[in-house]
Amino acid sequence: MLITVSNVLSEHELKQYRQHLSDMEWQEGALSAGGQALQVKQNQQLDPESKLTQQLGDHILQVLSETAKFVAAALPLKISPPMFNCYQNGGHYGWHVDNAIRIIPGTPVRLRTDLSATIFLNDPSEYEGGELCIKDTYGEHQVKLQAGDMVLYPSTSLHQVLPVTKGQRLASFLWIESMVRDHEQREILFDLDQTIQALGTEQGLDHPQVVTLTTLYHRLIRLHVDT
């Protein structure tokens, strides 16, 4: 299931991000690729060890911790430090699947990649091409969101970034290890959470049916969450 989260970053935050990114040096994205991905990756990335990269990433992590829809969808246990990439002049990333395990840089901590996320940092009107294509059981989906919006999808999905033929595509990307490992269980919990939120807005959070559904939600969380 693909889930989009709107306005993760505000217009003011995006302006600051783009200013920082325009002043920083980019390196070849292939430096962080391995195996199959190395053969199909043509883009640029910020040095993950750069102090500014880490500061921008920390800000994104703080914002995500306060974004209710993201938390409900991902049920995050661990999140990798956000990275940043740039596609231009035909840059692309062919079909690939993300590594199942990643090591958080500078630590011995391993993270199981249950979910992948991309936050778009500039508007689609600023570049041509650059769609994120994701394959799942329902076919192929092309994603190209407004600046500040995020797409969240299972890391088991085959995906690619189409060539950017004009302009520049800027994004941040990261991986999440969820407290609920099974994708279907996590989707059910998310759908239930969103139903509770909608009914709570319509009927009030103290409505008996909302209280009952909330109780069921937390019972399911106790059954399926692994911390």
Over 121-145, what HEC string results?
A: CCCHHHEEECCEEEEECCEEEEECC
CB atoms within 10 A of CB 110: 11
Assigned token pair, 131: 């769609």
Q: Which residues contact 103 (CB under 8 A, 6 or more apart)?
A: 109, 110, 111
Would the annotation count 92 as a binding residue?
no
169 is in an annotated binding site: yes
Q: Which residues are annotated as a binding site for 2-oxoglutarate?
A: 169
Q: Which residues are annotated as a binding site for Fe cation?
A: 96, 98, 159
Q: Which residues are annotated as a binding site?
A: 96, 98, 159, 169
